[in-house]
């Protein structure tokens, strides 16, 4: 089984995807992979999300995960659809234990010290910092990182192409989640690939 750190270090940005049409799944995944972004988070925010995961999982080179996983049932359905990692907006023992039972890497959401301590109690050291901007931005994550030197983060929520590099400069940050790579609507695959290529240089 891959470790969540393996997923987080594939590229500096994990695209956070809300796909409303399964027909867009493969073109979007192919465009992102062509641009160098292989780890893809498909959020369970649309009725077709599991179908999108299944389609994207067929794309050579793509490492597809499920986001907005709220409980064990969401996790099982996502894994059955082909998800290779799980992202949750929060941290619960239910989801953590389900991920452990399914042998699937988990990136749970945290926003404060209590969340991180609960995660550490569950044997976790890698977290999503969410919602990153609303939860206090870079100053908040710097402050949280100080007492938790073993913790590593993927800030997500409110991060833009223009601000991602500032987050990635933090020693505790391995990657960021970005929704700017694939705007809503019919995908422009050329533009998506160009944005993906630019995103791969953010940590340079």
**For this structure, is 76 an active site residue?**
no
55 is catalytic: no
CATH of the domain at 136: 3.20.20.70
Would 204 be classed as within a structural domain? no
Counting the structural domains of the chain, the total is: 1
Sign of the C-alpha dihedral computed for residues 87, 153, 61 and 33 taken in this order = positive
- Three-state SS for the chain is CCCHHHHHCCCCEEEEECCCCHHHHHHHHHHHHHCCCCEEEEECCCCCHHHHHHHHCCCCCCEEEEECCCCHHHHHHHHHHCCCEEEECCCCHHHHHHHHHHCCCEEEEECCHHHHHHHHHCCCCEEEECCCCCCCHHHHHHHHHCCCCCCEEEEECCCCCCCHHHHHCCCCECCEEECCCCCCCCCCHHHHHHHHHHHHCCCC
pLDDT 10s per residue in the chain (204 long)? Answer: 679 999 999 999 999 999 999 999 999 999 999 999 999 999 999 999 999 999 999 999 999 999 999 999 999 999 999 999 999 999 999 999 999 999 999 999 999 999 999 999 999 999 999 999 999 999 999 999 999 999 999 999 999 999 999 999 999 999 999 999 999 999 999 999 999 999 999 986
Burial 3-34 (b: 16+ CB within 10 A, else e): ebeebbebbbbbbbbbbeebebbbbbbbbbbb
For 33, the domain range is: 2-199
Q: Is residue 187 part of a domain?
A: yes
Pair of tokens at residue 194: 């160009």
Domain assignment present for residue 19? The answer is: yes
85 within some domain: yes
The catalytic position among 5, 30, 41, 76 is 41
List the catalytic residue out of 128, 142, 160, 162.
Answer: 128
Q: Could you tell me the pTM of the whole model? A: 0.97
């Amino acid at each position: 089984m891959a470790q969540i750190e393996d997923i987080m270090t594939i590229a500096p940005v994990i695209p956070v995807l809300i796909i409303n049409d399964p027909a867009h799944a493969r073109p979007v995944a192919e465009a992102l992979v062509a641009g160098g972004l292989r780890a893809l988070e498909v959020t369970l925010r649309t009725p077709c999300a599991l179908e999108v995961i299944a389609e994207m999982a067929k794309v050579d080179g793509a490492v597809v995960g499920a986001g907005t996983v709220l409980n064990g049932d969401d996790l099982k359905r996502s894994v059955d659809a082909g998800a290779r990692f799980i992202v949750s907006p929060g941290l619960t023992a239910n989801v953590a234990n389900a991920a452990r039972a399914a042998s699937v890497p988990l990136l749970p959401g945290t926003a404060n010290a209590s969340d991180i301590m609960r995660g550490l109690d569950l044997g976790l050291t890698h977290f999503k910092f969410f919602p990153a901007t609303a939860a206090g931005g870079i100053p908040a994550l710097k402050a949280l990182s100080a007492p938790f030197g073993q913790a590593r983060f993927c800030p997500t929520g409110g991060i833009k192409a223009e601000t991602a590099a500032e987050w990635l400069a933090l020693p505790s940050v391995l990657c960021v989640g970005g929704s700017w790579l694939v705007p809503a609507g019919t995908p422009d695959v050329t533009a998506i690939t160009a944005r993906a290529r630019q995103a791969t240089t953010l940590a340079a």
